Amino acid sequence: MFTPTHTQLTVYSLVIFGTLWGVLARLGLQWIGGFASTAVFSLVWAQMVGCAVMGFCVTKKNAIERVFPPLFVMCGTAFCGSLTTWSSMMGDVFTAFANLDKPAGTSRFTGFMTGMGITLVTFFSAQAAFQGGIHLAHVVPSPSRHPRSRPGQGLFNLATIVIGPLFWLGALMLLIFGPSSWRSRATFAIVVAPPGSILRYLVSKHLNPLSARFPIGTLVVNSTSVLVFAVMALLAHHSRSALGCAALKGVQDGFCGSLSTISTMVVELRGLRTGDGYRYFAVSWCVAQALLVVVLGTWVWSGDRGELCWQR
């Protein structure tokens, strides 16, 4: 092995690389969960896997950073942060509260219980998966050898700088020249996802240190992602071309899904005092639902229960 060096460009490149695979993994797990008609909602599988990997990475942080420091950012911030999503979960909770996926006249109490069920199942599943990742990390041995300088270091350093942009360019080419049926499913999402992860990384890096008792940065990015998610949903209720509809869906799944995160929130909740943790989660949840009500409330109360453009 050799001692690699890194710059901020390396970090951004690996954030892009990890984000692409995190979004693809989330969409794949959602598809598998929906196809298999599992007893729980399909999104919970992505949340659990992301939190399990995060638990593993946090426990092995020192070992990972001994190999190459930006690898932890790639695995934790990029991959796990994009595999888990706060905005989509909050959208599902609002849909349940408003009974948008149920026949007209369905009891409001039914919607309330469904929404709270989504919240609680996701929260406890994420915590359990994170703990499972910690246990797995204790079983898997860490590398005992430290990297040392060898020929090829320069090539490796260059590869870490270009790998993210090259894969991102490949995603763009796939969007332009690939099958049109892939656009609403994945290609739009992976093209617009990296800016979300990079923005989350920068905002959290600068705002979270402002308070040891309340992660302001994560609250800001999660709330912003919910706002954008709601606007995309509102636009999707109007007639759109196939390309426009795929773009709206891609922003929800890609940009919003990568801008928001649950895996990082789980780490933060475990680092806070009990009261601060409850306050942090409650504020995050209430702000998200308030934003959804403000943006989508008028449409819901108008009685228009039409499907989103990608559901037609």
- Phi, psi at residue 100, to the nearest 5°? -70, -25
pLDDT of the residue at 301: 77
Angle formed by the axes of helices 216-235 and 188-207, to 10°? 150
Three-state DSSP class for residue 105: coil
pLDDT of the residue at 285: 98
Spatial distance between the Cα atoms of 128 and 118, rounded to a whole number of angstroms: 15
Which has the minimum average pLDDT: 77-86, 97-106, 165-174, 190-199?
97-106
What are the tens digits of pLDDT across the range 143-195? 765 655 556 677 888 899 999 999 999 999 999 998 888 877 899 999 999 99
Mean pLDDT of 119-134: 97
Torsion, CA 181, CA 186, CA 191, CA 192, rounded to 10: 110
Going through 165-257 in order, the beta strands assigned E by DSSP cover: none
More confident residue, 43 or 306: 43
- Residue 206, pLDDT > 90, answer yes
Burial of 296 (0-12, 13-18, 19+ CB in 10 A): buried
Which has the minimum average pLDDT: 22-31, 119-128, 284-293, 298-307?
298-307
What are the tens digits of pLDDT across the range 245-290? 989 999 999 999 999 999 999 999 999 999 999 999 999 999 999 9
pTM: 0.92
pLDDT of the residue at 195: 97
307 in Cβ contact with 238 (< 8 Å)? no
pLDDT of the residue at 1: 43
Which has the minimum average pLDDT: 3-17, 48-62, 96-110?
96-110
- Write out the two tokens for 29: 């797990």
Say how many CA atoms lie within 13 Å of 195 toward its Cβ.
11
Three-state DSSP class for residue 78: helix
- Residue 140, pLDDT > 80, answer yes
- Residue 2, pLDDT > 70, answer no
Which has the minimum average pLDDT: 156-160, 225-229, 304-308?
304-308
Confidence of residue 38 (pLDDT cuts 50, 70, 90): low
- Residue 241, pLDDT > 90, answer no
Mean pLDDT of 7-36: 92
- Phi, psi at residue 231, to the nearest 5°? -65, -40
Q: How many CB atoms lie within 10 A of CB 275?
A: 9
- Residue 133, pLDDT > 50, answer yes
pLDDT of the residue at 279: 97
The share of the chain scoring above pLDDT 70, in percent, equals: 90
Calculate the average pLDDT of the chain: 90
> Residue ranges of the domains in the chain?
8-311
